[in-house]
Amino acid sequence: MKQEVPVELAQAGVGSPASARPFGFAPAPPRLYPFHGPYGRVALLSNARAHRNQRERAGENGLSSHIWQAAPHSKAELDRTLAGFARERVETIVIDGGDGTVRDVLSLAPHHFRDGIPRIAVVPSGKTNALAIDLGIAARWTAREVLASLDRWKAVTRSPIEIRYDGAHEARLRGFLFGTGAFVRATNLAQSVHRAGAFNGLAVGLSLAGAVGQTLFGGAENPWRRGDAVTLELPDGRAIDREFYLLLCSTLKRLPLGLKPFGPVRDGLKLLGVDSPPRKVLRSAAALLAGAEREWLSDAGYKRADTESFRLKIDGSFVLDGETFPGGDLSVTQGAPINFLVPA
């Protein structure tokens, strides 16, 4: 049976057409004169509903009218905006938003930029900015400051995680932090923390504390302890079919608050699996998040691995860079490197 394709992929040209979901952008027509900067034609794509941008609007930020600015308000409009960027041969996109904004740009851009995704500069203005933290971009940077200083920035590469649903052909989701099981519940908890006014590192810390508390004091039927059914297939042929408390993977080197759930800092696609129910929660959480490599962690059901790809079958949902998506039969791979601009 052909698997249903999520709306995000259908709008990118896969599956049946679907109405646009709100993307979180305020509508604004693009300025039609891409700025010729040190990295070729530069365009600014703003998320006006990003945490730090809510009091600003595209066209009211003091930037020159020769900077191509766009603030699409749906994923379908974002798709059309990127198509326009491709027609005008934009070579660098400055993304003023959080992790979710970057994820959606990277997921849709390959449909229009056939020779590769343009260079990306990130202005960390979202509720979560894990990619910016990994790239070493300070939270204080504004779009105006980034555009004015691009001649002093340099290019580094990061490879995203690519997620493809069976039956979705070439359309893929692209992001940097993937998780299922307790990670989905922790993300939902983080949304409550955001509504209470906590963001970035504080939100991560409060969400972690809440997750550990739920896990530690919940009963046997508590969903935090019970875990989710997952079938995991690794490239070497190993198949693992069990209840996982948590399954997490990322291609980032550094995470907020200096957390190191995957162990020492390194490149590549890193995977963490935690059996359900989790054991020695307090002791294990402290050691795991500090990046400790201890044999007893593996013996207690906390396992790490490096891999370029794996396959998953999950009945529940998963989170990619802060947004929840439906589960199913998935292929998860390390994607081709993308050039990101960072302060020199």
User: Across the strands, what pairs with 172?
Assistant: none
- What is the tens place of the pLDDT at every residue in 115-144? 999 999 999 988 889 999 999 999 889 998
Kindly report whether the peptide bond that precedes residue 277 is cis, defined as omega within 30 degrees of 0.
yes
In a 10 Å sphere around its CB, with 0-12 CB exposed, 13-18 middle and 19+ buried, how is residue 236 labelled?
A: exposed
- What is the tens place of the pLDDT at every residue in 3-33? 444 444 444 333 222 333 334 444 445 555 5
DSSP label at 220? T
- What is the tens place of the pLDDT at every residue in 277-302? 888 888 888 898 899 999 999 999 99
In this prediction, residue 66 carries a pLDDT of 62
Residue with tokens 């590769």: 116
Closest CA to 174 of 45, 17, 337, 327: 337
Q: How confident is the model at residue 182 (pLDDT cuts 50, 70, 90)?
A: confident
Residue with tokens 């932090």: 177
81 in Cβ contact with 70 (< 8 Å): yes
Q: What is the rounded CA–CA span in Å between residue 190 and residue 184?
A: 10
In this prediction, residue 55 carries a pLDDT of 42
The answer on pLDDT for 241 being more than 90 is yes
Q: What is the mean pLDDT of residues 305-310?
A: 95
This prediction's pTM = 0.82
In this prediction, residue 194 carries a pLDDT of 42
- What is the tens place of the pLDDT at every residue in 53-80? 544 444 455 565 567 889 888 889 999 9
